[in-house]
């Protein structure tokens, strides 16, 4: 008997690609996974970011709170889309792997400890949603069978190689927004690292990146786990809001 998981990378709600999210939701309802893994950076969280306020006068707390609440509302609204599909097919095992953007929430609470409702777990209602929470870049990442999951730690040119070299085990991550795989084999067998791309609106960052071209890709993964912990990975790339999954076109432009 096998178990199936769907894994999604950086969505950066509300700066997401809605067509790509629609594809993911339709894929969930088609595949009917037993497990769902969110690799973090689920929200952009711009008002919690020091980058957003760089060169600006940050608002006083009483004026900042409505903006923070706006962020929280937008990201929850985005997660609701995916959760509706998970609820529809009865996928109850759900994992949230915290990204570096979510760490901005926790850092804000360190600064204002009486505002604990902005911590990642609380702001995203993870317990109520049925997600197990996995804090950012811990030494022991989420493990399912013989595959491990983290948000992502390195952004070098050959980051898949770097992640595999660092962890020494097969691992899947987001963070870099591009698709990359590196595989090595030793006497214990074959190990791989996968960078899973993103589900963000890629064009949105054109100004922030100064017009630089990117190698970012929209994608998600389907993983089948066997009883002995072995697995096979299927990377599903989304091109301009469409993909082909198991011989069927999924069009994110259509609801």
Give the pLDDT of residue 29: 98
Give the pLDDT of residue 134: 97
Distance CA 203, CA 101 (A): 19
Give the pLDDT of residue 229: 93
Q: Please name the residue ranges forming H helices in 32-158.
A: 61-89, 100-111, 120-123, 126-129
Q: What residues in the chain have per-residue pLDDT under 50? A: none
Q: What are phi and psi of 98, to 5 degrees?
A: -65, 135
Give the pLDDT of residue 82: 98
Give the pLDDT of residue 207: 64
């Amino acid at each position: 008997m096998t178990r199936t998981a769907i894994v999604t990378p950086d969505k950066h709600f509300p700066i997401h690609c809605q067509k790509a999210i629609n594809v993911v939701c339709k894929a969930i309802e088609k595949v009917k996974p037993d497990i769902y893994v969110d690799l973090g950076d689920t929200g952009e969280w711009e008002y919690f970011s020091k980058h957003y306020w760089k060169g600006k006068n940050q608002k006083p707390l009483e004026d900042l709170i409505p903006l923070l609440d706006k962020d929280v509302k937008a990201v929850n609204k985005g997660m609701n889309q995916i959760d509706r599909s998970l609820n529809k097919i009865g996928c109850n095992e759900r994992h949230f792997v915290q990204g570096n953007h979510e760490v901005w929430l926790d850092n804000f609470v360190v600064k204002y400890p009486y505002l604990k409702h902005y911590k990642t777990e609380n702001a995203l209602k993870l317990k109520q949603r049925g997600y197990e929470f996995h804090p950012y870049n811990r030494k022991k990442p989420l493990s399912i069978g013989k595959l491990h999951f983290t948000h992502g730690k390195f952004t070098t040119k050959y980051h898949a190689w770097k992640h595999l070299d660092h962890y020494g085990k097969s691992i899947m991550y987001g963070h870099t927004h591009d698709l990359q795989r590196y595989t090595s084999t030793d006497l214990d067998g074959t190990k791989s690292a996968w960078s899973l791309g993103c589900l963000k609106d890629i064009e949105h960052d054109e100004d922030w990146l100064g017009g630089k071209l990117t190698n970012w890709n929209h994608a998600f993964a389907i993983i089948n786990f066997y009883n002995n912990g072995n697995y096979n990975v299927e990377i599903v790339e989304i091109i301009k809001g469409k993909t082909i999954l198991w011989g069927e076109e999924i069009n994110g432009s259509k609801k």
